[in-house]
Amino acid sequence: MAERRLILLAAVLVAMAALFTLWNLRAPYGFILSLRLTKLASLCVVGAAIGTATVLFQTVAANRLLTPGIVGFDALFVFIQTMLVLSLGGAGFAALPALAQFGAETAILIVAALVLFGVLLRKGGDDILRLVLTGVILGVLLRGLAGLAQRLLDPSEFAIVQQATFATFGAVDRTQLAIAAALLALGLLAAMRLARHLDLAALGRVTAMPLGLDHDRIILVALGIVAMLVAVSTALVGPITFLGLLAASLAHAVLQSWRHALLLPGAAIIGATILVSGQFVFERLLGLQSTLTVIVEFLGGLLFLFLVLRRPRP
Amino acid sequence: MIELNAVSVEKSGAPILNDISLSFGQGGITALIGPNGAGKSTLLHAIAGLVAPTCGTVRVEGLDMARARPPERARHVALLAQDERVTARLTVRDLVGFGRWSHHHGRPRDADRRMVRDALDIFDLNPLAERRLDALSGGQRQRAFVAMAWAQETPWLLLDEPLSALDPRHARDIMDRLHALTRPGPAQRSVVIVLHDLGVAARYADRIVALKDGRLVTSGPRVLAMTGGMLSDLFGTGLALERIKGRDVVVPV
């Protein structure tokens, strides 16, 4: 049953991708097709990476409300971008070779994410309230520091930071996209190899360890994959806080399964479908630009509130 | 056989268990009793290999539990912890199936499926097999967890206060089932259980291990070790054993 739903989800993504690519296609066909396919690929890579990373993160944290963005990862990204512009100067930052910038950002974000998630889950893993509060407060602290640093920038440098920290699919570099896609494939493959262990890890440490799971090792590997996936997608287009929550919640709701062999690809497909169909509606049907992430954040935020308010009291 | 040799455990520098040496063979129900903070749960986790002793060794059927790999440990003891908080949307059959994980690592075979069927039979869970855990009562849920631990097919079942959230009827149901498991037969297991209800310990335990402030106070057959004087000293309040309708009952004095 769940397998059929997964196939159906994949079919919906293919249909939306075809619509996005071919709707109202005009001459010069080659040029427009090439632009659209690049954008389609970036939407799919980012959606799949964030969807997969969120399911993994929620399993690791044993909580369906949390996402890397909610516990401070996005604030960390804004902080790092601001500090890069501040230390290199606007011209220095802009003059960085795109590939080097992408590589360095990805590497910094992976290390920072590992430290952030490691500290949060090690210190507060048993206490979700403490984990969320620590993440939120860390986020406020980092945004505050970034805000302070942004006041030291001149207007042109500030504009560069604004552009770098707002998610956009408009100008994705193809080489970066290819690297991101390769890393996504690597991450997805590693996550799928871990899927059977994650099924057990989802029962929580106290239940899973006596059943024979090397829990701490699995969590470490899973966190490594999460760090890589969110770092790659954020470095590619910028942060989208609530997309993961939407994709993971929909994957659980649609597939009605605890099996990560289905949930992981399911969340990846749904993440990609949300972005592709959203971009199709806004760009092709409504003729709007740059509003997709705002809507994703709005809907994701509403879902987050709904999930928080719906949770039964312990 | 479970053997603890001079086991001490510290957490954040504070001693939790202090120089515990103790051994007991398979068979029957062993009750761990003692006041709050005595170290009962830590002792159980140390036996399961989930808490590494600061010094000393824990061996179960000859296996050094602190050094063993998790799947190997899980084939020697099954531990049901105190605060099972499974949030995944599992059915009872799924949960019991996880008991076989150390045998199949996520790829169940016929023998595993047969064991799950047996566990559902033994614990009368067949009518609930396709029900989700969050749709069960506390007693049914606890029965499902015990069935999962039984399906692990280990010689030892370690249970940390499995009756704490149960009313007397469900508590008695669980204890009757555990007692039945310790009788000779193909489903036989040895049970080590942390109990706060001394009446339950007096009625069901074959062996008593009493702890206070991380130290072993006494261990031995229940009929010899569990006396009113020992219980009064252990809990710091007057307690006596009375015989009512042919059974030992603990009463305050």
Whether A21 contacts A44, CB under 8 Å = no
Q: Which two tokens stand for residue B48?
A: 């399961």
**Complex ipTM value:** 0.90
Q: How many domains does chain A have?
A: 1
Q: What pLDDT is stored for residue A314 in this prediction? A: 45
Comparing CB atoms, the residue among B50, B79, B86 nearest residue A203 is B86
Whether B107 contacts B101, CB under 8 Å = no
Chain B, nearest residue to A215 by Cα: B70
Q: How far is CA A248 from the centre of its chain?
A: 11
Chain B, nearest residue to A204 by Cα: B86
Per residue in B138-179, pLDDT (tens digit) is: 889 999 999 999 999 999 999 999 988 788 898 999 999 999
Shortest distance, CA B184 to any CA of chain A (angstroms): 25
Q: What pLDDT is stored for residue B187 in this prediction? A: 75
Q: Is the pLDDT of residue B97 over 90?
A: yes
Contact flag B48-A256 (C-beta cutoff 8 Å): no
| Residue spans per domain, chain B | 1-76+154-226, 85-153
Q: What pLDDT is stored for residue A169 in this prediction? A: 72
CA B28 vs CA A157, A264, B42, B108, B222: distances in Å: 75, 45, 21, 30, 11
Contact flag B99-A209 (C-beta cutoff 8 Å): no
Here the CATH number for the domain that contains residue A223 is 1.10.3470.10
Per the prediction, chain A carries an average pLDDT of 85
For residue B170, give the H/E element and its range.
Answer: helix B168-181
Q: What pLDDT is stored for residue A291 in this prediction? A: 66
Residues of A within 8 A of B102 (CB-CB) are 211-212
Chain B, nearest residue to A207 by Cα: B84
Contact flag B86-A258 (C-beta cutoff 8 Å): no
Q: What pLDDT is stored for residue A123 in this prediction? A: 63
Q: Which of B65, B63, B127, B52 is nearest to B93 (CA)?
A: B127
Chain A, nearest residue to B89 by Cα: A258
Look up the domain containing A18 and give its range: 2-309
Residues of B within 8 A of A196 (CB-CB) are 105-107
Alpha-helical regions (H) of chain A: 2-22, 29-61, 73-95, 98-124, 128-151, 155-165, 174-193, 195-201, 205-208, 215-237, 243-255, 260-279, 292-310
Q: Is the pLDDT of residue B185 over 70?
A: yes
SS3 for A33? helix
Mutation site, B69, B98, B109, B161, interface A, largest A CB count within 10 A:
B98
DSSP state of B134: G
Flag whether A21 is in a domain.
Answer: yes
Question: Percent of chain B scored above 90 by pLDDT?
Answer: 75
β-pairing, B190-194 vs B14-24, is: unpaired
Q: What pLDDT is stored for residue A129 in this prediction? A: 67
Contact flag A210-B78 (C-beta cutoff 8 Å): yes
Mutation site, A63, A209, A256, interface B, largest B CB count within 10 A:
A209
Shortest distance, CA A69 to any CA of chain B (angstroms): 22
Distance CA B29, CA B183 (A): 10
Flag whether A314 is in a domain.
Answer: no
B110 lies within 8 A of chain A by CB: no
Flag whether A142 is in a domain.
Answer: yes
Partners of B218 in the β-ladder: B210
Chain A, nearest residue to B106 by Cα: A196
Fold exhibited by the domain B1-76+154-226: Rossmann fold (3.40.50)
Q: What is the DSSP string of B102-116?
A: HHHTT---HHHHHHH
Q: Is the pLDDT of residue B215 over 80?
A: yes
Q: What pLDDT is stored for residue A124 in this prediction? A: 56
Comparing CB atoms, the residue among A197, A200, A210 nearest residue B81 is A210
Flag whether A89 is in a domain.
Answer: yes
Flag whether A25 is in a domain.
Answer: yes
Residues of A within 8 A of B87 (CB-CB) are 62-64, 202, 204
**In chain B, residues 22-81 whose CB comes closer than 8 Å to chain A:** 48, 50, 69-71, 73-75, 77-81
Comparing CB atoms, the residue among A206, A212, A257 nearest residue B102 is A212
Per residue in B25-74, pLDDT (tens digit) is: 888 999 999 999 999 999 999 999 999 999 999 999 999 999 999 999 99
Chain B, nearest residue to A59 by Cα: B88
Residues of B within 8 A of A200 (CB-CB) are 98, 101, 106
B12 lies within 8 A of chain A by CB: no
Per the prediction, chain B carries an average pLDDT of 92
Contact flag A211-B106 (C-beta cutoff 8 Å): no
B246 lies within 8 A of chain A by CB: no
Residue written as tokens 């070779």? A97
Comparing CB atoms, the residue among A202, A211, A257 nearest residue B101 is A211
Chain B, nearest residue to A193 by Cα: B106
One-letter amino acid at A214 equals: D
Contact flag A207-B86 (C-beta cutoff 8 Å): yes
Distance CA A277, CA B129 (A): 40
Chain A residues with CB within 8 Å of chain B CB? 62-64, 195-197, 199-200, 202-204, 206-207, 209-215, 252, 256-258
Low-confidence ranges of chain A (pLDDT < 70): 121-129, 170, 289-291, 311-314
| Cβ pairs A/B, distance under 8 A | 67
Shortest distance, CA B245 to any CA of chain A (angstroms): 39
